[in-house]
Amino acid sequence: MNDAEMQAMLIEYMGKGFLENIVALFKQEPGLMRFIPALIADEQVVVRLGATALVEELAGGFRLQLRTAVPGLVSLLEHENPTIRGDAVNLLGIIGDPSAREALRRLEGDAHAAVRLLAKEALQELDQ
């Protein structure tokens, strides 16, 4: 299965509510962490919520592997949709990778108050 097919499958299964299966798959194949940005950028709310739940579930024992998703999440901080920016900020805060600090600081001046607040909270999480 190529990356495009895997991404489509993950989005489809997350959209159908197969979160537990996806969590198990990511635990078995940590290389799949690279698809987290695609999940959080999907137009379906259920997929984005599932991606957040996935990262929250994996943050306990797979924090190092989750860092694979950081570059893609940082690139989403410039997305035109403030909801996507906010969701990416939230995941960066959960992952807690200090390499995202500068990108998060830039969002303290975002046009949307919710994104600014999330960036501030994510930066506080990085400081803990």
pLDDT class for 84, splitting at 50, 70, 90? very high
pLDDT class for 127, splitting at 50, 70, 90? confident
Average pLDDT over residues 5-16: 96
What is the rounded (10 degree) CA torsion for 1, 6, 8, 48?
180
Look up residue 7 and give its two tokens.
Answer: 């991404």
Question: Does pLDDT of 18 surpass 90?
Answer: yes
Parse the chain into domains and list their residue ranges. Answer: 3-127
Q: Output 119-124 pairs: Cβ under 8 A, ≥24 positions apart.
A: 119/89, 121/93, 122/89, 122/90, 122/92, 122/93, 123/93
Look up residue 27 and give its two tokens.
Answer: 């635990």
Question: Does pLDDT of 37 surpass 80?
Answer: yes
Residue 48 and residue 87 in contact, taking contact as beta carbons nearer than 8 Å: yes
Q: What is the mean pLDDT of the chain?
A: 94
- Give residue-wise pLDDT tens across range 62-76: 999 999 999 999 999
Within 10 A of 36 (CB to CB), how many other CB atoms are there?
25
The class (CATH top level) of 3-127 is mainly alpha
- Give residue-wise pLDDT tens across range 100-124: 999 999 998 999 999 999 999 999 9
Q: Does pTM surpass 0.95?
A: no
